[in-house]
Amino acid sequence: MKKIRLGLMGFGLIGRQLYQLATERDDVEIAVVSDIGAPDILHHLLMHEMRDDECRLVGNRLEHDRFATRMLRTDQPHEVPWDAFGVDAVVDATARFRSQTHMRAHLDNGAKRVLLSTLPLDAIDRLVVPGVNDADARASDRMVSAGSASTTAMALVLKVLSDPFAIALASMTSVHAYTSDQSLQDYAGADYRRSRSGAENIIPNTTEAPRWVEVVLPKLAGKLDGYALNVPVQKGSLLDLNVVFDDPKIGAKEVNDAMIDAADRLPNLIAVAQDPIVSSDVIGSRQSVLFDLRGTMKAGKRMVKALAWHESRGHASRILDVLTLYASIDAARGTAAQQGARR
């Protein structure tokens, strides 16, 4: 399979983590980065997470031993000439341009496929959560989402538990580190609560995760709900999940055993923690779920409460998983077409 030439729009935390992960691989190269920030400042931020000798800014190019990346200072999807750089796919990591119209602009400018790093605003070709619905991906998918860290964590845990056990309903609270779109001081924003300082407050918030988990796990449709709490922690988030099972015999041991088995089968996606960890202990985790075995407890006759940690680097890793999944599908289709032409 040929190397994937990737374009990035947005060089915030997820974008920089995607760049770092790509430097460790032979199958992905970052061809171009589009961001509103000045290239020298973006390089400066990147160097806080990489060694100074790993990546150099030369003019308008980031240079690494594995690949060179053109830096563009643009603001909107329609401003980026992706076809000029021969990219195979674009990851929109801005969390701003989530509509079908924005994704279409990337495609119209030469991207062969566009992948959102977060949840979409409206209907797209596919939401893919590795370990949950990989088999649904099709070569014809052009507008794709890799979900969000909270969505993936919730979907993975519920997939693991709903395979052997019947789930009556589940609710989640996403205890989430504050994000770059939150103000650090009180500042008039889109709504009352998100106008308060993210560095000083626990801020109740809505989450789209349960609705999209029902899309990738249709057998749980109508059974999921939840909300979010943005908390004054910079990195490391927690999924507080309450699951009501049909069978009252399902308790903490059965849930923990199922997650331990899943971690053995899917070590790149799920890990388990025996230790009494806290949020800073999960920073840098490349799994999408770090299941807290100490946090599992039976509540009432049929409900089990569980805790699952996650971090943004795990989500960046899943974005690359989705990209390589589609690259393998495209390669297989190309091979099949060549074989058909020879017949």
- Give the tens place of pLDDT for each residue, 88-114: 999 999 999 999 999 999 999 999 999
Question: In the prediction, which pLDDT does 1 show?
Answer: 63
Helix, strand, coil % over all residues of the chain, rounded to 5: 35, 25, 40
pLDDT, tens only, 216-233: 999 999 999 999 999 999
What pLDDT, on a 0 to 100 scale, did the predictor assign at position 190?
A: 82
Domain boundaries along the sequence of the chain: 4-146+316-342, 149-310
pLDDT at residue 315 above 80?
yes
Tokens matching residue 53: 């000798």
How do residues 259-295 score in pLDDT, each as one tens digit?
999 999 999 999 999 999 999 999 999 999 999 999 9
Per-residue pLDDT, averaged over 25-51, amounts to 92
Which residue reads 């779109």 in tokens?
181
H/E element, 72:
strand 68-73
Q: Residue 2: pLDDT above 90?
A: no
pLDDT in tens, 181-195: 888 898 998 889 989
Q: Quick count: other Cβ atoms within 10 Å of Cβ 12? A: 19
Q: Is the pLDDT of residue 335 over 60?
A: no
Residue ranges in the chain assigned as alpha helix (H): 13-23, 39-47, 100-108, 149-162, 209-216, 252-265, 312-342
How large a percentage of the chain has pLDDT more than 90? 88
Q: Which amino acid is at 255?
A: V
Q: In terms of pTM, does the model score above 0.85?
A: yes
Q: What six digits make up the tokens of 151?
A: 């969505």
Tell me how far apart the alpha carbons of residues 173 and 180 are, in angstroms, rounded to a whole number.
20
Max Cα separation, the chain? 68
**What are the tens digits of pLDDT across the range 113-171?**
999 999 999 999 999 999 999 999 999 999 999 999 999 999 999 999 999 999 999 99
Q: How does the average pLDDT of the chain come out, rounded?
A: 93
From the list 233, 210, 230, 234, the residue with the least C-alpha distance to 220 is 210
Q: Higher-confidence residue: 51 or 247?
A: 247
Q: Which band of pLDDT confidence, cut at 50, 70 and 90, is reported for residue 174?
A: very high
Does domain 149-310 match CATH 3.40.50.150?
A: no
What architecture (CATH level 2) is domain 4-146+316-342? 3-Layer(aba) Sandwich (3.40)
Per CATH, 4-146+316-342 and 149-310 having the same topology is answered no
Rg (CA), the chain: 21
Instruction: For tokens 């969000």, name the residue.
Output: 148
Distance CA 282, CA 116 (A): 24
pLDDT at 338 over 60: no
pLDDT at res. 30: 97
